[in-house]
Structure 1
Amino acid sequence: MRQRRSHRFMLPLVLLALAFVMAPASRVAAHEEGNSVITLRAPLDAADCTATPPTITVLGLTIDVSTATFGAGHGDSGENDNNQGDDGDNGNNQDDGENDDDQGGGDTPPSCADLVVGQPVVVTFASDAAPLVATSVKQRGDGEDDGEPDADVEIKAPLQAVDSTLLTVTLLGLTIDASTATIEGNDGEGDEIPTDLTQAMPGEFADVLLDATKLPALVATHVKIRIDTVVVLQAPLDAADCAATPPTITVLGLTIDVSTASIHAGGDDDGEDGEGDDGDDEDGNGGGCAALVPGALVRVVLASDATPLVATQVKQIGEDDEGVEVRAPIQAADSGAMTVTLLGLVIDVSTAGLDGGAPPVDFTKVVVGQIAEAHLDATKLPALVATTLEVTDVGSDVDVEVDDPSGTEIDDPTDDVDVKVDIKKTVTVHNGAKRVKTTSIVHVHTTGHGSFHLSGLPAGAAKISVTRVQAGVTMARSRGARLKVNETQNLRLRLEPVHAH
């Protein structure tokens, strides 16, 4: 096997031209705190505590528990009584003969041997990679109350696969029938958004409830997916033209079609997104477009960042909500001017920190096609000045070996290898009974001097074209590839002479 001399290009440094013609909403980490903890709650099938490593079996999954902490918790109360005491005694007083430290009895900490087959366990994992390794195992007793019914069977983990035809999802290696399940989406900030399995992508975090009465069959009753691909704009409402055809609103100078959007103008009377729309009409629209108040903060969920912009949801929110933000695929990044472009808006990031860090932004980590969330300084509007910028790799990579016609890998000091990548994807947006499909195409153009590696590409059907001109001779080759989230495609392109017609 030949020694590979692949050159990794971070796209913002090498893109010579790009154009988003309905660019896809790519993956983003806009996580609610605690939402990304991978857990499994189900009855314990078996425990093999003397094995090397010791294991337990839950839903047919064999789980390594050699490094896990245990909380047997099947005592009289199932609660940790430490520092509570009885009748004024301190928490270490054991006058009642019980061990108040929730250690399963006696002075021995709970262990694998304390687990009871058939009783529910909650298993926490470091990751969803196989072989599965638990970081903690807690068995819940009948008297224990952590806010979750003991009968519930639940998996919280990243989606590993989604089949919108068979209506199945895969988490932790388990393929689950979701054909009769209620499917919900949220934008990671607490707002529900219209969704179905056609919009779910591997890598997005899901919370799946299973029908315990149908075990060992894995049949979901409820699937809630954090749609990391959602495009969101949150800012004061500039204007609303509800009588126009189509009706539109204007936010940060952007005109947005709201003809098919659900509109919640009542605000959040409980202070939380997604709740308290007591003024909703029969369609849940909270008074509709006419009830929107210019100057009030609105949160707009968009079908994509394609122009003309089309909203799927508009929500007027309280002043105590987070301020002005834009979350969308990066359309351009300029390290010289210290700007990024989202939704056609050129945003100054010269004083922003990246992912919670200190300024300036490291543009080697800013990749066109990534979802970015820019928090803007509301005091400087209408100037668009970011205070923070958060980005997440889309998760699709392609590694391409470029060979000359003889099969020898090209690697020379001249940047005479021209690379074009077109990625196409269809996004389906549901709004009540309506289904809207938009086709997204990302155009990437870069140059190099041989084999290359592109990271941060959105998932979808891609066409990769490579052209090289040397000594007046043009050679080229194209190839299709299916880019998938969290996967690297390895391709080999042998260039061929291009003959004039």
Structure 2
Amino acid sequence: MKHALSAVVGVVVAVVLAGFPAAQCAWADDESDEVEIKIRAPLDDCIPSPPTIVVLGLMIDAGGDVVQVGEDATGPLDCTQLAPNEVVKVELASDTTVSLKAAKIELRGSDEDDEAGDGGDENVVKVQAPFEGLTTVGASTGIILLGGRLTIDVTHAVLEGEDDESDGDEQPIDLTTLMNGTFVEVTLDLMLTSDIPGAFVATTLEVKNFTNHVDVEVLGPDGEVVDDRDAAGNPVNDVRVELTETVKVHGARRGRGGRSKRVLHFHTRSNGSVVLSGLPTGHGKVRATRVVGGSTMTGEGRVVVGPNGTRHRRVVLHHAG
């Protein structure tokens, strides 16, 4: 049995309450729904003290006024108001902390935008989170989410890339090209079983913002395009490309106006130049690091990510120090 797991690195999400400078990204979309880390699933358990809920086997800290009890009001967790297997919608503060912390918990009917009409099934089970890597067991392929806590078998799932215009246009995708940090939404069938131990089974996987690209051209100190290969001509992925991007989202409480910035981190490896896909609209900094023969070279540059198109960024490497 083969079990290969790529590096699991979650997305660090930082929220800074502030206006978004129009000059930097005047056309940027509100990316709130696209970059939320959220779970919609039946409640496994509710623990009064300390306030904790369990969904999909995940222990989630529910302390504070995180339960939505009205359109704008929130309150503390009350387990007596929750029924076994009741479907809840949980927005997580992050996927990289030691424990998962709920930023908001919505109960059935608490939100006018409740997904009760989603596919005609109010009990649909979904997870949206940053992609963290692939795992394989035999002929089965899974994706890693939520800081390595959740494995989803996508072997037979319908794989699609969502158009940023949200007009229903979708494109086929190749999971092996996904960059760590790319937000994906998976729909689960809890009645199916997987050959991957502990994995849930997905029926669909959708890559968010799939048509938003940044073409990163990596040049060496000599000004030549980097294209590292071994003696047999095979690519050598010794270049790490990282993108730190600031996107525009809702304020702390949806529907009350105001804007926030959310900082996201993406990374991948290549043998030189690379196209980064699945990026929300916003602005940020791309950084490339190349290590060859014990020598480290780095370079960086600013970039603006637009909707449904490709932006180009040339990064020239310089020897560190």
Structure 1 residues 257 and 494: CA distance shift in structure 2, 3 A? same
Which residue of the other structure, out of 313, 316, 319, is the alignment partner of 1:491?
Answer: 313
Letter in 1 for 2:214: V
Q: Following the alignment from structure 2 to structure 1, what is the Cα–Cα distance between the partners of residues 9 and 215?
A: 22
Deviation at 1:298, TM superposition (A): 1.5
Alpha carbons of structure 1 residues 16 and 237: separation in structure 2 relative to 1, 3 Å: closer
Q: 2:159 aligns with which of 344, 348, 354?
A: 354
Show the counterpart of 1:368: 180
User: Does the CA contact (< 8 Å) of 1:203 and 1:485 recur in 2?
Assistant: no
Give the Cα separation in 1 of the matches to 2:288 and 2:74. Answer: 48
- Encode CA deviations 1:52-87: one digit per residue, 9 max, x unaligned: xxxxxxxxxxxxxxxxxxxxxxxxxxxxxxxxxxxx
Aligned ranges for residues 180-195 of structure 1 at < 5 Å? none
Q: 2:52 aligns with which of 248, 262, 270?
A: 248
CA shift in 2, pair 1:431/1:392, >3 Å? closer
- 1:397 maps to 213
Kindly name which structure, 1 or 2, has the bigger radius of gyration based on alpha carbons: 1
Residues 453/416 of structure 1: CA separation in 2 closer, same or farther (3 Å cut): same
Counterparts of 1:433-452 in structure 2, within 5 Å, are: 440-448=263-271, 450-452=272-274
SS in structure 2 at match of 1:229: coil
Residues in 1 aligned to 2:226 and 2:121: alpha-carbon distance in whole angstroms: 57
C-alpha distance 242-22 of structure 1, shift in aligned 2 (>3 A): farther
Give the whole-Å Cα distance in 2 for the aligned partners of 1:287 and 1:349.
33
1:378 deviates by 2.4
* Alpha-carbon separation, structure 1, partners of 2:298 and 2:151: 35
Q: 1:351 to 1:164 in 2, by over 3 A?
A: same
Cross-structure match for 1:408: 224
CA distance in 1, matches of 2:125, 2:210: 23
Match of 2:87 in 1: 297
Describe how 1:103-252 pairs up with structure 2 within 5 A. Answer: 164=20, 201-202=28-29, 227-244=33-50, 247-252=51-56
Q: In the alignment, which residue of structure 2 is the partner of 1:338? A: 141
Q: Which residue, out of 325, 328, 334, partners 2:129?
A: 328
Against the structure 1 CA distance between its residues 445 and 20, is the aligned structure 2 distance closer, same or farther, given a 3 Å change threshold?
A: same
Aligned pairs for 1:95-106 within 5 A:
none
List per-residue Cα deviations over 1:108-146 (Å, max 9, x = no partner).
xxxxxxxxxxxxxxxxxxxxxxxxxxxxxxxxxxxxxxx
Give TM-score scaled by structure 2 length.
0.66
Q: In the aligned structure 2, how far is the partner of 1:375 from the partner of 1:364?
A: 20
TM-aligned CA distance change 1:261 to 1:388, over 3 Å: same
What secondary structure does 2:191 align onto? helix
SS at 2:180's partner residue? coil
Q: Take 2:151 and 2:199, find their aligned partners in 1: how far apart are those partners?
A: 10
Deviation at 1:338, TM superposition (A): 0.9
**1:403–1:492: 8 Å Cα contact kept in structure 2?**
yes
Q: Find 1:430's aligned residue among 234, 252, 255.
A: 252
- Per-residue CA distance 1:262-315 (angstroms, 9 max, x = gap): 334xxxxxxxxxxxx7xx9x9465984541123222222334444333232321
RMSD: 4.2
Contact 2:151 2:199 in 1 (8 A): no
Match of 1:22 among 12, 15, 21: 12
Structure 2, unpaired ranges of 5+: 110-115, 162-171, 231-235
Residue pair 2:41, 2:125 contacting (<8 A) in 1 also: yes
Residue 351 of structure 1 aligns to a residue whose secondary structure is coil
Q: CA deviation at 1:165?
A: 5.8
Q: 1:22 corresponds to which letter in structure 2?
A: V
Instruction: Specify every segment of 5 or more residues in structure 1 that has no aligned partner in the other structure, as ranges.
Output: 1-14, 26-162, 172-200, 205-225, 265-276
Give the whole-Å Cα distance in 2 for the aligned partners of 1:165 and 1:495: 30
- SS for the counterpart of 1:481 is strand
Which AA in structure 1 matches 2:180?
Answer: V
Match of 2:108 among 309, 316, 323: 316
Q: Can you list the C-alpha shifts for 1:149-172, whole angstroms capped at 9, x where unaligned?
A: xxxxxxxxxxxxxx6467xx978x
Question: Between the two proteins, what is the percent identity of the paired residues?
Answer: 30
CA 1:289–1:439: 2 relative to 1, 3 Å: farther
Over 3 Å counting, the alpha-carbon distance change for 1:329 and 1:24 in structure 2 is: farther
Instruction: Give the distance between the partners of 1:466 and 1:390, measured in 2 at CA.
Output: 30
Task: After TM superposition, list the pairs within 5 Å mapping 1:254-293 onto structure 2.
Answer: 254-258=58-62, 259-264=64-69, 283=73, 288-293=78-83
Q: What is the distance in 2 between the residues matched to 1:369 and 1:298?
A: 25
Alpha-carbon distance change, 261 to 375 in structure 1, aligned in 2, over 3 angstroms: same
Task: Give, in whole Å, the separation in 2 of the partners of 1:419 and 1:326.
Answer: 28
State whether residues 215 and 275 of structure 2, in contact with CA within 8 Å, keep that contact through their aligned partners in structure 1: yes
Instruction: State the partner residue of 1:462.
Output: 285
Query: Taking structure 1 as the reference length, what is the TM-score of the superposition?
Result: 0.45
Cα displacement string for residues 309-368 of structure 1 (whole angstroms, at most 9, x for unaligned residues): 323232136895142221222222346741112323101112222249xxx984256553
Which SS does the other structure have where 2:278 is aligned? strand
3-state SS of the aligned residue for 2:106?
A: strand
Which amino acid in the other structure matches residue 315 of structure 1?
L
Aligned partner of 1:185 in structure 2 is: none
1:452 Cα deviation from its structure 2 partner: 2.8
Q: Which residue of 2 aligns with 1:183?
A: none
Work out whether residues 395 and 485 of structure 1, in 8 Å CA contact, stay in contact via their aligned partners in 2.
no
